[in-house]
Amino acid sequence: MKMGMNLLKSTNLVTRTMAQLTVVAVSATLSTSAVSSSALATISATSFNTPDQSISTRSLILDAPVANGAGFDTVTAMSPGTPVLRYVNYRNSGSDSGTSLTLQVVANPATTLSTDGTNGLHITVDRCSVAWTPSTNVCGGTTTTILSSTSLTTLASAASLATGGGNSATGITSLASGEYFYVRYTISLPSGNSEEAQNGVLPNGTIQNLTTGLKWTLKELQGS
């Protein structure tokens, strides 16, 4: 009987202990949940614009050159002292102004016409405030020399049109949006060159009987 009572007491003690442990565990869980919920709770405020802000960009575009008359058509039978005139119209059709204009003329294939800075081809660039009249070589407005006579050797690298190629020419500093650039290109071989063919053979380094192709590149940078 006494043993039975001891067993009952032991059983009750174990039961109470387990119950106490369960309560402690539940309390610990509830306490942890409360801390976690407290840590995750956030109060905030925001401010934003309506409608969305509109952003757009400007453009810088030089239209393809438009021939005024012969333009960049083939030139044949050139000789020293007889310049060839070509008229081309450019237009800045972008919404931004252009500045720092340069001209580059590259010959392909390279011949004495482009490698001889003295006797080879030279280029002069003149601008008219209105379109040129090719048939009479007349500018009905104001004529400005943009680039004084410059060798093709030099123009193989882009030359500044703002400074007239380093010569006394006036140059052009900018091209406004929508503005036209009416150009006359004078292509020439210096008249002071002296060559002599002997027994039907042309001299070394001759400018005679040569053919090359020219690529004219006008470039502008975005204005401020």
pLDDT 10s digits, 68-78: 988 999 999 99
pLDDT, one tens digit per residue, over 122-170 is 999 999 999 999 999 999 999 999 999 999 999 999 999 987 655 556 7
Pairing of strands 138-139, 174-175: unpaired
In the chain, what are the domain boundaries?
66-191+211-222
Name the pLDDT band for 36 (thresholds 50, 70, 90).
low
Beta-ladder partners of 185: 86, 125
pLDDT, one tens digit per residue, over 45-64 is 999 999 999 999 999 999 99
What distance lies between CA 57 and its chain's CA centroid? Answer: 14
Q: Over the range 153-189, which residues count as b (16 or more CB within 10 Å of their CB) and which as e?
A: bebbebbbbbbbbeeebbbbeebebeebbbbbbbbbb
Q: 184 or 171: which carries more pLDDT confidence?
A: 184
Tokens representing 151? 């060798």
The span from the CA of 186 to the CA of 132, in Å, is: 13
In the chain, what's the furthest Cα-to-Cα distance?
Answer: 151
Task: Name which CATH class applies to 66-191+211-222.
Answer: mainly beta
Beta-carbon contacts of 23 under 8 Å, excluding residues fewer than 6 positions away, are none
| Cut 0.85: pTM above it | no
Judge if the upstream peptide bond of residue 109 is cis by omega within 30 degrees of 0: yes
Residues 115/117/119/121 CA torsion (nearest 10 deg):
70
Tokens representing 130? 């209105």
Q: Over the range 81-104, which residues count as b (16 or more CB within 10 Å of their CB) and which as e?
A: eeeebbbbbbbbebebbbbebbbe
pLDDT, one tens digit per residue, over 82-113 is 999 999 999 999 999 999 999 999 999 999 99
Average pLDDT over residues 3-29: 46
Is residue 218 over pLDDT 90?
A: yes
